[in-house]
Structure 1
Amino acid sequence: MAEKEVRLFGMWASPFALKVEWALKLKGIEYEYVNEDIPFNKSDELLRLNPVTQKIPVLVHNGKPLAESLIIIEYIDDTWTEGYSIMPKDPYDRAQARFWAKFADDKDNLSEGAFVSWTSVECISATFGVFTSLGEAQQKMLQEAREAFKTLEQALGSKQFFGGDQIGYLDLAIGWFAFWMPIFEEIASISIVDNENAPLLKEWFARILDVDMIKTSLPPRDKIYELSKQRREQFLSGQIKP
């Protein structure tokens, strides 16, 4: 299979495209990156490749398109079987990894146009509520967000990474939290994942961001900060609906 025939349609500020990039890099797969203008000016090619959801990321391998980041990561691991193994080998461990990935990273219930950088449900529905509210409503959602991430911490336990001694499927699925969450907290002047609420997860944030492949692939923090700040202001002013 020719690695040069791998194309990834993404967007520079999308954590969901980023996690696919991480998987490709772990496997040592060469690919072409196509940056889309999401959500305002999607290319005709993207709409042709993914007519169902019309969203990124889309991986094209040997002319065949595949959508949804978690599905793409599994495809990458199943297709390029040599070298680094992303998914757990044990069937039970694989099922558990999928469960926690869905808990943390199921983005189906939020629109792509609402907020490019924060579109997940279980762990983020409450966090998204924090981001789009103020006062008493924000405090209520803050408590829900803290509980969600405290629950997610159970999957990590005392391990270095969710994948064990090295990063694996679940680390790739939710690794973007480590970068985006502190930005989100700074903008909204709140604390969701901290040493009191989820100390193991907080330590994992620092640990995964210290992995060379992860930190050298991150988008510019200042640009993500400005985009996120702009989105919050648009939500609070009613220009964008949650």
Structure 2
Amino acid sequence: MAAASATTGEVKLLGLWRSPYVTRVGIALNLKKVGYEFVQEEVQGQKSEILLKSNPVYKKIPVLIHQGKPVCESAIIVEYIDEIWTSEPPILSSHPFDRAVARFWVTYIDDKLLALVRTLAFGATEGTSKAEVADGGAEAFQLLEEAFAKCSHGKEYFGGDTIGYVDIALGCWLGWIKAVEEVSNIKFLDEKKVPLLVGWAERFLQNEAAKGTMLEADEYVQRVKNLSASAR
């Protein structure tokens, strides 16, 4: 799943492909055409010595190791990749305001939207109904639809002509979103409600940078079913 082109300096990615946060880093590396070694981690099993050494604080994936130095947390790693490999296309805009807007939406995606998707995978929490969770998710996707209209300036991606920071942050979750839709019978990417996002998702999944970084659709569905069953 690593990009074919190599660059100066050893690059390793510690992770598990079913993790959207690992997928996020893989997409960024592919976008920059950075060759890397993927080191498989089993999160539920014994954590490897290299993971514990590389991320002693959180002890979790993903971790990018570049020239022997570890970088942790997916959003931070993506920014690091953009700053180290300055070849086109840039992931973040050179304009401070546009960068700030992109960071806002990445934080929103991580803190708000996908928390709802995870809740549907594991089951609604006490005091919260499935309908309430679905309504919250629909509202979040509507806000992202509006954000896309503003950020894309009529082009194909949040980042404009090419995949950018927000595209990567949201796109890495598409496999999980589609699986949750199928298992819960709740449609988030509804062409009637969020047509811009639906078109964007199709383009994103066909982009070369995204190919090879995600599991097959049925694997995500089975994973969601397993999570739902374990939560009962």
Q: Give the TM-score taking structure 2 as reference length.
A: 0.88
1:212–1:2 CA distance, 2 compared to 1 (3 A): closer
- Count residues with an aligned counterpart: 220
Give the structure 2 partner of residue 154 of structure 1: 146
Check conservation: 1:17, 1:69, Cα contact below 8 A.
yes
**Given that residues 102 and 166 in structure 2 are in contact (C-alpha distance below 8 angstroms), is that contact kept between their aligned partners in structure 1?**
yes
**How many Å separate the matches in 1 of 2:187 and 2:45?**
31
Q: Aligned Cα RMSD in Å? A: 1.9
C-alpha distance in structure 2 between counterparts of 1:98 and 1:78, whole Å: 15
Higher relative contact order (CA 8 A, sep 6+): 2
- Per-residue CA deviations over 1:59-109 (Å, capped at 9, x if unaligned) read 01111111011100110111111332111111110111001000002xxxx
Matched, 1:187 2:178: no
- Taking the aligned partners of 1:166 and 1:88, their CA distance within structure 2 comes to 11
- CA gap of 1:21–1:127, structure 2 versus 1, over 3 A, is closer
Work out whether residues 117 and 177 of structure 2, in 8 Å CA contact, stay in contact via their aligned partners in 1.
no
Any idea what SS the aligned residue of 1:146 has? Answer: helix
Alpha carbons 2:30, 2:209 under 8 Å: kept: yes
Unaligned runs of 5+ in 2: 1-5
Matching residue within 25, 28, 34 for 2:33: 28
Q: Distance in 2 between matches of 1:141 and 1:180?
A: 16
Instruction: Identify if the C-alpha distance between structure 1 residues 48 and 216 changes in structure 2 by more than 3 Å, giving closer, same or farther.
Output: closer
Q: What percentage of residue pairs aligned between the two structures are identical? A: 38
The 3-state SS of whatever aligns with 2:94 is coil
- Counterparts of 1:4 and 1:30, CA distance in 2: 10
Say which is worse superposed, 94-103 or 217-226, in terms of deviation.
217-226
**1:172 maps to 2:177:** no
- The structure 1 segments of at least 4 consecutive aligned residues displaced by more than 4 Å after TM superposition are none
Equivalent position SS for 1:192: coil
Are 2:129 and 1:137 equivalent residues in the alignment?
Answer: yes
Deviation of 1:2 after TM superposition, in Å, equals: 5.9
Counterpart AA for 1:126: L
